[in-house]
């Protein structure tokens, strides 16, 4: 299988932020995520949905007790319409740090777990993997939901897609060489639920859901300044020695080719450096420049502050139509990106929905979707 050849275009892509570090109901998006003819995508916030529910009579008030939960982590729900027809395909990219946050936000956003065909883990870090068992359980429950199954029949097992090199534990490396451990990542046995899920381990590039979603392999390190994160530590065997692990080589990005737009890149943490990620995505897409990047850019830690300006300069030179800098980007890098790209950059927030479609002028007859 040639993943680049099998990677197909989609007519539209919807990205729903289920878990991110912050919640922000009130801020309006930049011009790139608006309703104008030149916008990169349409945008809906948590506030927009609450207001619409009140106005339609579905809710009596904007109830702040039913807001979404933010947490240090990331989870994105992706739904894409294949070009040329067929049913939309849905994939979950990462699952946040724990079951509580993921389950709560699934419920409050009305996520249909039965529609999820695959769950991709970007890399083995608890703020991305901790909610995986809950995701597998919600998919399994949806398989047996009477109302859904009576109409559609039981869906095929969802693929839980992970990197084959799973560490025993990861943590933070301190200056004196000691390590502060994180929670252990879920075991593969926790993700296998008979009849509902199947775990696949991939280190190489591949596609999922009929070729709609491209999952990278190892990300080439090309820039001179994106040297990894010296504060990362890994214990490869239970009870073994802690080792410096600045490269986190198991991280993979995900990308979707939207017709008339180019690749939309989802990068969970960008341990390889977001510029390296964007260059690798462009290469995989046959040289097409990234239309947008959404996710964590990992510029928040002290060892990354010195690379912020170089990163901003290179992103600006690549001219993506939209940058959504969330999770581990950090406020300094967010501020620098917004200053450099005021109409094209915004912080990531839980509950945001971005929808990318082919530009109106490129559709047949110029008719709107």
Residue range 101-152, pLDDT digits in tens = 999 999 999 999 999 999 999 999 999 999 999 999 999 999 888 666 777 7
Residue 287 sits in which domain range? 13-25+41-358
With respect to residue 363, please indicate whether it lies within any of the assigned structural domains. no
Both tokens of 163, joined, read: 């990197």
With respect to residue 30, please indicate whether it lies within any of the assigned structural domains. no
With respect to residue 148, please indicate whether it lies within any of the assigned structural domains. yes
Going by pLDDT thresholds of 50, 70 and 90, the confidence category of residue 77 is very high
pLDDT in tens, 319-351: 999 999 999 999 999 999 999 999 999 999 999
With respect to residue 33, please indicate whether it lies within any of the assigned structural domains. no
Q: What percent of the chain has pLDDT over 90?
A: 88
Pairing assessment for the beta strands 292-296 and 322-326 based on DSSP bridges = parallel
CA 317, 321, 322, 328 torsion-angle sign: negative
Q: What percent of the chain has pLDDT over 70?
A: 96
pTM: 0.95
- State phi, psi for 214 to the nearest 5 degrees: -100, 125
- Residue in the structure block whose two tokens are 């009140």: 54
With respect to residue 326, please indicate whether it lies within any of the assigned structural domains. yes
With respect to residue 34, please indicate whether it lies within any of the assigned structural domains. no
With respect to residue 181, please indicate whether it lies within any of the assigned structural domains. yes
With respect to residue 366, please indicate whether it lies within any of the assigned structural domains. no
User: What does the pLDDT read at residue 368?
Assistant: 38
**Partners of residue 233 on adjacent β-strands:** 171, 244
User: What does the pLDDT read at residue 369?
Assistant: 38
CATH of the domain at 340: 3.60.15.10
Domain count, the chain: 1
Going by pLDDT thresholds of 50, 70 and 90, the confidence category of residue 188 is very high
């Amino acid at each position: 299988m040639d993943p680049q050849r099998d990677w197909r275009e989609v007519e539209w892509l919807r990205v729903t932020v289920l878990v991110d570090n912050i919640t922000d109901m009130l801020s309006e998006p930049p011009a790139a995520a608006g309703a104008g003819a030149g916008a990169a995508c349409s945008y809906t916030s948590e506030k927009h949905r609450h207001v619409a529910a009140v106005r339609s009579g579905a809710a009596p008030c904007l109830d702040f007790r039913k807001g979404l939960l933010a947490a240090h982590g990331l989870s994105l729900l992706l739904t894409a319409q294949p070009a040329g027809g067929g049913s939309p395909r849905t994939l979950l990219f990462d699952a946040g740090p724990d079951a509580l946050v993921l389950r709560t936000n699934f419920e409050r956003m009305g996520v249909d777990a039965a529609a999820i065909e695959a769950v991709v883990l970007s890399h083995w870090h608890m703020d991305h993997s901790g909610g995986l068992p809950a995701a597998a359980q919600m998919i399994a429950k949806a398989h047996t939901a009477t109302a859904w199954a009576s109409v559609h029949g039981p869906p095929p097992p969802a693929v839980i897609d992970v990197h084959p090199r799973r560490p025993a534990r990861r943590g933070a490396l301190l200056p004196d060489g000691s390590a502060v451990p994180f929670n252990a990542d879920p075991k593969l046995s926790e993700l296998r639920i008979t009849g509902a899920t199947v775990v696949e381990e991939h280190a190489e590039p591949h596609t999922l859901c009929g070729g709609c979603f491209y999952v990278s392999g190892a990300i080439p390190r090309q820039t001179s300044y994106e040297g990894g994160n010296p504060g990362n530590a890994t214990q490869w065997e239970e009870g073994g020695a802690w080792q410096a692990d600045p490269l986190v080589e198991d991280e993979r990005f995900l990308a979707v080719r939207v017709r008339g737009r180019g690749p939309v890149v989802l990068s969970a943490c960008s341990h390889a450096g977001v510029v390296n990620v964007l260059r690798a995505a462009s290469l995989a897409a046959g040289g097409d420049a990234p239309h947008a990047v959404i996710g964590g850019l990992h510029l928040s830690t002290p060892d990354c502050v010195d690379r912020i300006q170089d990163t901003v300069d290179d992103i600006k030179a690549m001219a993506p139509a939209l940058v959504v800098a969330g999770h581990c980007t950090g406020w300094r890098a967010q501020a620098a990106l917004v200053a450099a790209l005021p109409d094209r950059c915004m912080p990531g927030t839980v509950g945001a929905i971005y929808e990318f479609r082919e530009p109106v002028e490129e559709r047949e007859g110029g008719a709107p979707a």
